[in-house]
Amino acid sequence: MVDLVCQCAGAESKNDGDFTYIVDSGKWGAGHQGKQTNLISAMIKYGTDKNRFSGMTKEDLELAATVLDPELMKLFQYEIPSV
């Protein structure tokens, strides 16, 4: 799947398309102090229906429902947020 995304974007995947999870924080440096998340904390924060959209306003949800491509969302197994 990573290979397909890379090809679509006009790039080449590294490591023959093998995917490796990054468990450490994806953000670092002084500007990100206290805002760092890692794989586990992101799964806890965003991995449930209850928390997935908690930071979004009603207007955010309405916009997402309007502009997100249903076929693309289905391909990547995401749900379009309901308002």
Residue-range domain boundaries for the chain: 1-45, 53-83
**Nearest CA-CA partner of 26 in 41, 44, 4:** 41
- 46-75: average pLDDT: 86
Q: Give the CA distances from residue 71 to residues 15, 27, 35, 48, 77, in Å, rounded to whole numbers and listed in that order.
A: 29, 31, 33, 22, 10
pTM: 0.46
Share of the chain above pLDDT 70, in %: 77
Instruction: Decide: 63 and 80 in contact? Cβ < 8 Å.
Output: no
Integer Cα distance of 38 and 55 in angstroms: 18
DSSP classification of residue 53: T
Q: Measured between alpha carbons, how far apart are the two ends of the chain, in Å?
A: 30
pLDDT for 63 beyond 90: yes
- 48-70: average pLDDT: 86
